[in-house]
Structure 1
Amino acid sequence: MNQIQGRGIDASLNDTGYRQARAIASHFKNNELHHLFSSSLKRSFETASVVGEMHGLEPEPHADLDEMDFGPLEGRPISEIESKLEELHNNWRSGNTTFTFGQAETPEVVLERASGRVEDILSEKRGKNLLFVLHGRLIRILVSHWLGYGLSGMHKVPHTNGALYHLQWNGDAFKPIYLNRTAHLSNGSASKV
């Protein structure tokens, strides 16, 4: 059953998630990683830990990098809330990125907490190769902001679970090298949920 797993759902990785984590770790086996960051949620930290084992790095978790809180939509089957999700996405695409249900977070709130943390890390670790293990909606929020799409352009950022995004920071701006790369998941473990 596909369901919304936001900030309030702290589930561990399932078998597919572990396969994806091993594929990510294998992808980076010949790359020098200096630091590894994750959200504080189990699924992100467990993925980062699999990568960290290969590189001798301990993931550094940050709650500011947690997935968006989707409020009353979390934990519910997607089939039950399709109309609500469509309403969310339509509002966001039209520029109403303060729209939400209940006590859920807005894209602005998520951007503020996560982008500030990433900027602090980039400043501290200048010139190092950093790997961030993050969540789908959070990735769309950050990348749309960093690449100048604006939050109403989040839908322009493709995402697949286990996908890789490579961005270079020059001290002023991000340059995308690739987005949503999934070739490392060729064993069929990719999911667009």
Structure 2
Amino acid sequence: MTEKHIFLIRHGETEFNKQGIIQGCGIDSDLNETGRKQALAFFEHYKNQPFNKIYVSTLKRTWQTVEPFLSKGIPIEKHAGLNEISWGKFEGTNMKDSPQFHFEKLIHAWRNGETNLAVGGGESPEDVAERQKPVLDLIFSRTEEKNILICMHGRAMRIFLCQLFRIPLKEMDRFLHANTALYHLIYDYKTDSIYAHAENCLKHLEM
């Protein structure tokens, strides 16, 4: 095998997403009705993809998003390394409330390259990248898996994409993705390179 197709999606909508409440890895929320519909729409659009394996975080919103694929007998693996970033004291707060100023200040610092910074009790992007690396190594070591589906979270997914494309973490906000947005990535083992066949794709929601 010379190529691996990676279908990387963000989980479906939760009530916290809808209300603008910061979740992080400390809040294990379920998909709401919209999120469940998004998950089914994604399944209907991609159910004929020959996925060898599905990778998710240990948080419910990721495996609930890919749950329809289990009816096809596709094996699934949960990895804590794929969990959302810990937002520490921001978790459970509304982005419109008073902590918003401090939240935006942290994001600005990350964009300036201070990716070692974390909110109190939380993780920095560098912390998240470090725990993602063993999962990345595992995925690429499994050369027999030609097509895989990975379901992750907004901020963790940005960090994951930076690692895949080998770009600085400070550039993570170039990757925008709504709930169930898809990145179809193709990794070439011969050249040790990766490119995007599709980015932030939501075609499945247009059906």
The TM-score with structure 1 as length reference comes to 0.90
Find the counterpart in structure 2 of residue 84 from structure 1. Answer: 102
Greater mean alpha carbon deviation, residues 119-128 or residues 137-146: 119-128
Asked if 2 retains the 8 angstrom alpha-carbon contact of 1:37 and 1:48, the reply is: no
Indicate the SS of the match to 1:37.
strand
Partners of 1:51 and 1:17 in 2: how far apart?
15
Q: Counterpart in 1 of 2:88? A: 71
Q: What is the aligned partner in structure 2 of residue 162 from structure 1? A: 180
Query: How many residues are paired up?
Result: 186
Q: Cα deviations across residues 42-71 of structure 1 (Å, max 9, x unaligned)?
A: 101111212322x32242111111111110
Unaligned 5+ runs, structure 2: 1-18
CA 1:40–1:125 in structure 2 vs 1: closer, same or farther (change >3 Å)? farther
- The higher relative CO (CA closer than 8 Å, separation ≥ 6) is in 2
Task: Please give the alpha-carbon distance, in whole angstroms, between the structure 2 residues aligned to 1:155 and 1:41.
Answer: 23
What amino acid sits opposite 2:201 in the alignment? Answer: R
Contact 1:49 1:59 in 2 (8 A): no
Structure 1 SS opposite 2:24: coil
Partner of 1:56: 73
Q: 1:49·1:58 contact (CA, 8 Å) conserved in 2?
A: no
| Structure with greater strand share of residues | 2
Counterpart check, 1:177 vs 2:197: yes
TM-score by length of structure 2 reads: 0.84
The amino acid of 2:88's aligned partner reads: G
More divergent stretch after superposition (58-67 vs 102-111): 58-67
Which residue in 2 is equivalent to 1:9? 27
Using the alignment, how far apart are the partners of 2:69 and 2:102 within structure 1?
Answer: 35
Q: Within 5 A, what are the aligned runs for 1:120-135?
A: 120-135=138-153
RMSD of aligned alpha carbons? 1.5
- What amino acid is the match of 2:197? I
Mapped partners of 2:136, 2:121: distance in 1: 25
Report the equivalent of 2:39.
21
Runs (4 or more) in structure 1 with deviation over 3 Å come to none
Amino acid at match of 2:135: R
> d(CA) in 1 for partners of 2:77 and 2:164?
22
* Residue 168 (structure 2) pairs with residue 111 (structure 1): no
1:97 and 1:169 mapped to 2: Cα distance?
Answer: 26
| Distance in 1 separating the partners of 2:171 and 2:152 | 19
